[in-house]
Amino acid sequence: MQSRSTSRDVMTLNSAVVELIERSLQSHIYWSGHNSSNCIPTEWRVLPFMVVLTVRKGEYQCIFDAAQVDSVRAGAGEVLLIPAGSRHRLVVDRATIADGLHIDFTLFHNLDVLSFYEVPMVVPAHQAEAIMRCADELTATLEEYKSTPNLNNIALKRCASFRLFYEILSVSQALPDKELRLLQVNRILPALELIENQLDAALKVEVLAAACALSRNAFSRLFKQVVGSSPLRYVNRKRLELAMSKLVYGDRPIAEIAKSVGFCD
């Protein structure tokens, strides 16, 4: 396959940061549907991962509970990309056929790599062919993986997910501060690891700062610059995301889920 360069991403990182990114970049797939005609509307919801819908026939409308965007539509040959954490509901034509994915791509345990980009919510048909091809391959691979979870299918699943990731980046615009944020991620990596491993504990900013050998104020400033929110806001968001996943895909009581992710009251 011929490599396609893009002017959207011309960043050069030092070798240490590149090595960290290569080791930590991961994809997580929570649900998939291949060439499905069982496309149904949803109630209002907030999901902790990106929703990818490649529309083969019919139309999806996504209505957002946000001031910036009211609603978007994706018809046949187009792709709908619903960002993680957005409150939305889906309206769908009865005759719609689509591939669907609940997926995220993370760096350093729990940092959403797509937060470094402005990702379009709708990819028009003239740009969507590669994404649709990748989504078709990935969802078909996942169907095979469910029935035959062998090493070959694990490798295929991983390859297909990162091809999809590449194609999403190819239609996205890198944010202006992306380079600086990525270069500085290594300085807060010990805190990100603590958050990943002790999300159910009482995480104090002072403890996170000490893990990075920084003062509380210096750590808070750097963390917000890199991640885009304060440490405590980020921790609470990660707890909510984990709780949402457990609510969507599990049957445990709400109080038990809240306690398991660090919400005690």
CA distance 107 to 192: 10
Q: What is the pLDDT of residues 62-73, one digit of tens each?
A: 999 876 788 999
Residue 163 has pLDDT above 90, yes or no: yes
Give the number of other Cβ atoms within 10 Å of residue 239's Cβ.
19
CA distance 252 to 52: 27
What's the pLDDT at 52? 97
User: Which positions ≥6 away from 42 have C-beta within 8 Å?
Assistant: 89, 90
What is the pTM assigned to this prediction? 0.80
User: Residue 51 — very low, low, confident or very high, per pLDDT cuts 50/70/90?
Assistant: very high
Average pLDDT score over residue span 124-147: 94
CA 90 to each of CA 27, 44, 49, 178: distance values in angstroms, whole numbers, following the listed order: 24, 8, 15, 31
Q: What is the pLDDT of residues 182-224, one digit of tens each?
A: 878 888 888 988 888 888 888 899 999 999 999 999 999 999 8
Average pLDDT score over residue span 226-234: 87
